[in-house]
Amino acid sequence: MKSTITPSREAARTTMPPPRKLRRGLEGLLYGWQGAWRRRPGVKREWARIAALAGVELDRWEESDVATLRAALAGHRQTLRRTAHPSGAHLAKALGIVAAAARHHTGLRAHPNQLLGAVGLWHGALIEMATGEGKTLTLALAAMLRGWQGRPCHVVTANDYLARRDAQALNRFYEAGGLRAGWVIAEQPGSDRRRGYAADICYTTAKELLADWLRDRLALGPWAVARRRALGRMQRGAVSDVATVMRGVHCVLVDEADHVLVDEAVTPLIISQPRPNADMSEAYVETAEFARGIATGEYRAQAAHQDVELGKQLRIRVRNEWRPKAAVLKNPRWREELVRQALRAREFFQRDKQYIIKGDKVVIIDESTGRPQAQRSWRQGLHQMVEAAEGVELTDPADTMASISFQRFFRQVPILAGVSGTAAEERGEFWRVYGLPVVAADPHRPNQRRAHALRVVARASDRWSEVVARVEALHQTGRPMLVGTRSVAASETLAKLLGEREITCAVLNARQLEREADVVAGAGQSGCVTIATNLAGRGTDIQLGDGVVELGGLVVIATEMHASRRVDRQLFGRCARQGDPGETWSWASLEDELARRNLYDWWRRSVRGLAVARVPGSALLAKVTMRWAQRCSTRKSARQRHQLARQDQRLALYLGDGSVEE
pLDDT, residue 224, reads: 63
pLDDT, residue 225, reads: 61
pLDDT, residue 12, reads: 40
pLDDT, residue 440, reads: 94
Identify the three-state secondary structure at position 52: helix
Q: Name 195's Cβ contacts closer than 8 Å, sequence gap at least 6.
A: 182
Tell me the mean pLDDT in the region 45-71. Answer: 92
pLDDT, residue 279, reads: 85
Tell me the mean pLDDT in the region 570-592. Answer: 91
pLDDT, residue 621, reads: 95
Percent share of the chain, pLDDT over 70: 90
Return the CA Rg of the chain: 27
221 neighbors 193 (Cβ within 8 angstroms):
no
Q: How far is CA 461 from the centre of its chain?
A: 31
How many whole angstroms separate alpha carbon 31 and alpha carbon 436? Answer: 12
Tell me the mean pLDDT in the region 106-125. Answer: 95
How many whole angstroms separate alpha carbon 58 and alpha carbon 500? Answer: 55
7 pLDDT exceeds 50? Answer: no
Top-confidence residue, 535 or 382: 382
Compute how many other C-beta atoms are within 10 angstroms of the C-beta atom of residue 164: 19
529 neighbors 557 (Cβ within 8 angstroms):
no
In 311-386, DSSP assigns E strands to 355-357, 362-365, 372-373
How many whole angstroms separate alpha carbon 659 and alpha carbon 164? Answer: 33
Domain 5-269+406-440: state its class.
alpha beta
613 pLDDT exceeds 80? Answer: yes
7 neighbors 223 (Cβ within 8 angstroms):
yes
Band of pLDDT at residue 395, cut at 50, 70 and 90:
confident
337 pLDDT exceeds 80? Answer: yes
Which tens digits make up the pLDDT trace of 176-198?
999 999 999 988 888 899 999 99
pLDDT, residue 124, reads: 94
Band of pLDDT at residue 264, cut at 50, 70 and 90:
confident
Tell me the mean pLDDT in the region 271-276. Answer: 78
CATH topology of domain 448-589: Rossmann fold (3.40.50)
What rounded mean pLDDT belongs to the chain?
A: 86
Tell me the mean pLDDT in the region 509-531. Answer: 80
Band of pLDDT at residue 323, cut at 50, 70 and 90:
confident
Q: Where are the alpha helices (DSSP H) in 476-563?
A: 488-500, 516-521, 548-551
Strands 268-274 and 398-405: antiparallel
Fold match between domain 276-396 and domain 448-589 = no
47 pLDDT exceeds 90? Answer: yes
| DSSP structure string for 267-330 | PEEEEEEE---HHHHHHHHHHHHHHTT--GGGEEEETTTTEEEE-HHHHHIIIII----SGGGG
Band of pLDDT at residue 656, cut at 50, 70 and 90:
low
Identify the three-state secondary structure at position 242: coil
Predicted TM-score of the model (pTM)? 0.86
How many whole angstroms separate alpha carbon 264 and alpha carbon 640? Answer: 12
How many whole angstroms separate alpha carbon 351 and alpha carbon 358? Answer: 11
Q: What phi, psi does 347 have (nearest 5°)?
A: -80, -40
pLDDT, residue 6, reads: 38
**Taking the domains of the chain in order of start, what are their residue ranges?**
5-269+406-440, 276-396, 448-589
Which tens digits make up the pLDDT trace of 63-81?
888 889 999 999 989 888 8
pLDDT, residue 10, reads: 43
Which tens digits make up the pLDDT trace of 359-373?
888 888 876 666 777
pLDDT, residue 591, reads: 92
Band of pLDDT at residue 662, cut at 50, 70 and 90:
very low
pLDDT, residue 51, reads: 96
Top-confidence residue, 513 or 555: 555
Residue type, 25: G
How many whole angstroms separate alpha carbon 405 and alpha carbon 116? Answer: 31
Which tens digits make up the pLDDT trace of 479-517?
999 999 988 889 889 999 999 999 999 888 877 666 676
Biggest distance spanned by C-alpha atoms of the chain: 89
pLDDT, residue 8, reads: 40
Tell me the mean pLDDT in the region 46-70. Answer: 92
Q: Name the CA dihedral angle for 490, 496, 501, 503, rounded to a multiple of 10 degrees.
A: 80
CATH-assigned architecture of domain 276-396: Alpha-Beta Complex (3.90)
Strands 529-532 and 506-508: parallel
Strands 238-239 and 5-6: parallel
137 pLDDT exceeds 90? Answer: yes
Q: What phi, psi does 131 have (nearest 5°)?
A: -55, 135
659 pLDDT exceeds 70? Answer: no
Compute how many other C-beta atoms are within 10 angstroms of the C-beta atom of residue 640: 12
How many whole angstroms separate alpha carbon 457 and alpha carbon 94? Answer: 55
Compute how many other C-beta atoms are within 10 angstroms of the C-beta atom of residue 512: 16
3-state secondary structure 560-600: CCCCCHHHHHHHHCCCCCCCCEEEEEEEEECCCHHHHHHCC
536 pLDDT exceeds 60? Answer: no
* Cα atoms in the Cβ-side hemisphere of radius 13 Å centred on 616: 0
